[in-house]
Amino acid sequence: MATIADVAKLTGLSRSTVSRVINHYPHVSEEKIRLVRDAMEQLNYYPNASAQKLRNQKTDTIAVLVPLLTNPFFAYLLEGIDSVATKYNLQLLVCQTKHDREKEWKFLSLLKTKQVDGVILTAIENEWDKLTEFIEDGPIVLCNEYEKNAHVPTVGLDQVYGGYIGTKHLIEKGHQHIAHCRGRMISELSSDREAGFRKALNEHGLAVRKEWMFGDVSDIEGGKRAVREILAMKERPTAVFTGSDQAAAGMISEAKRHGLRIPEDLAVLGFDDQQIATITDPPLTTIKQPIEEIGQKAMELMIDIIIYKKDVKAPKIRLPFKLIERGST
């Protein structure tokens, strides 16, 4: 492998001058520039990235922690993050936590070893108090999932309100018996959404039935499982408000398989408005989250911090969302 010293030797110049050419510094004569360029070509020289990172004290790499690569929600979030990263020539180190606290911890340690310039979290596995120590090691941006007392930039939605309008929609459709499938129990996002759900029921004098509250439902299989539980009940809900289109699609499929009609026997409301929402039968009524925008915004904040060195403080950015009515409710 050719190094900068080889180029210097071949041209008869110093490493400094070669470096100046590589980095387009002014005050290098045209003649030497050409000389160096030719030598680099001839030697098939490429600067060693590790050496540059060491010297420049930055890596131009951002770690993105996602719980599950195969969950399309996070794929779209990544897509949003990637679209902005690409524009600024930043690399993405994709880290899958599989909801494992230790993995999350290990990945955050990339900040300590200066392997990345920043971390974007799309979920939170550990207690936030335990994660605060990493803040001094480099910028952390939170997106999608959030944490009320986290003093870091955050991008997300008003999930209480999301839960509220979704539930209200079902009530307005005439439902009195409404179930709720939430995501993980440790998720503040899910808890907020549930709070919105409860608020809507309360306002309309409807009771919250705890046997109709399902936890940890976040994919197709989870949706199917919930339906099976519902089918085993004497008293069944007539509508379900679900935390993701994946889960909702699983519910519709399983419910139909057991002879229920959607929405007559069971109305299903999704969340996200993913592609899958258009191919269920009937198509899903859902609350559209601007997933890619959430990712973009998060990466833009990161860029403000690490590239433009702005002091962004810890803004809590809330993006808008809306209900999209299709056939499932």
Partner DNA sequence: ACTGAAATTGAAATCGATTTCAAATTCTCA
Partner DNA sequence: TGAGAATTTGAAATCGATTTCAATTTCAGT
Q: Which residues bind DNA (CB under 7 A)?
A: 1, 3-5, 12-20, 22-23, 26-29, 31-32, 45-48, 51-52, 54-57
User: What element of type H or E holds 241?
Assistant: strand 239-242
Rounded Cα distance between 119 and 137, Å, is: 10
185 binds, among its own copies, DNA, none (CB under 5 to 8 A by kind): none
Closest contact distance (angstroms) between CB of 114 and its own copies is 5
149 binds, among its own copies, DNA, none (CB under 5 to 8 A by kind): none
Closest contact distance (angstroms) between CB of 52 and its own copies is 8
Closest contact distance (angstroms) between CB of 33 and DNA is 8
Phi, psi of 229 (to 5 degrees): -65, -40
Which residue's CB is nearer to its own copies, number 239 or number 262? 262
Rounded Cα distance between 140 and 11, Å, is: 44
Q: Write the DSSP symbol of residue 135.
A: G
Per the DSSP assignment, residues forming a β-bridge with 95 are 65
Closest contact distance (angstroms) between CB of 240 and its own copies is 15
Residue listed under structure tokens 């590589």: 22
276 binds, among its own copies, DNA, none (CB under 5 to 8 A by kind): its own copies
Phi, psi of 214 (to 5 degrees): -105, 135
Which residue's CB is nearer to its own copies, number 48 or number 202? 48
Closest contact distance (angstroms) between CB of 94 and its own copies is 4
Closest contact distance (angstroms) between CB of 191 and its own copies is 27
28 binds, among its own copies, DNA, none (CB under 5 to 8 A by kind): DNA
- Chain-centroid distance of CA 138 in Å reads 19
Q: Which residues contact its own copies (rule: CB under 8 A)?
A: 1, 46-51, 53-54, 59, 61, 69-70, 72, 75-76, 78-79, 82, 86, 91-96, 103, 109-110, 112-115, 219-221, 246, 249-250, 252-253, 256, 275-276, 278-281, 283
32 binds, among DNA, its own copies, none (CB under 5 to 8 A by kind): DNA
Rounded Cα distance between 78 and 255, Å, is: 32
Phi, psi of 119 (to 5 degrees): -130, 135
DSSP 95-121: EE-TT-HHHHHHHHGGGTTTS-SEEEE
Q: Which two tokens stand for residue 249?
A: 């699609």
